[in-house]
Each structure stands twice: as C-alpha cells, then as structure tokens.
C-alpha cells in the first residue's frame, strides 16, 4: 500500500484513509501529504486537497 500523492510506503499509523467523495474508493494518504495538503488524484479522476 502506497501514498496516493507521494507513493511512499504506508505502514503503522503514518497514513490516513478515507473514501473518495465521488466514487467511494478508499484513498490512502500519508500524514505528511495530508499535513502539506499535497494534491491527489483518484482513479475516477477526482482531484482533491
């Protein structure tokens, strides 16, 4: 499992997961990207902060 923004490997509690607001697909993101508000793109095309 990798961060959707920076592709870093996710483990333990260094990530958050939430469903895409459009398609409901689970999105995994490291806390660093969340803190920095790095953009991410879901496979459905949704881009969010």
Give whichever of 1 and 23 is closer to Zn ion, judged by the CB atom.
Answer: 23
Q: Which H or E run includes 36?
A: helix 31-36
Q: Taking the complex as a whole, how short is the minimal distance between the CB of residue 13 and Zn ion, in angstroms? A: 14
Q: What are phi and psi of 32, to 5 degrees?
A: -65, -45
Q: Of the candidates 18, 19, 12, 8, which has an alpha carbon nearest to the alpha carbon of residue 33?
A: 8
Residues numbered 1 to 49 that lie near Zn ion (CB under 5 A) are 3, 5-6, 20, 22-23, 25, 30, 33, 42, 44, 46
Interacting residues toward Zn ion by CB under 5 A: 3, 5-6, 20, 22-23, 25, 30, 33, 42, 44, 46
């Amino acid at each position: 499992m990798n961060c959707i923004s920076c592709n870093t490997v996710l483990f333990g509690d260094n990530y958050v997961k939430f469903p895409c607001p459009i398609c409901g697909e689970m999105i995994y993101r490291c806390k660093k990207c969340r803190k920095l508000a790095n953009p991410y793109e879901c496979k459905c095309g949704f881009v969010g902060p």
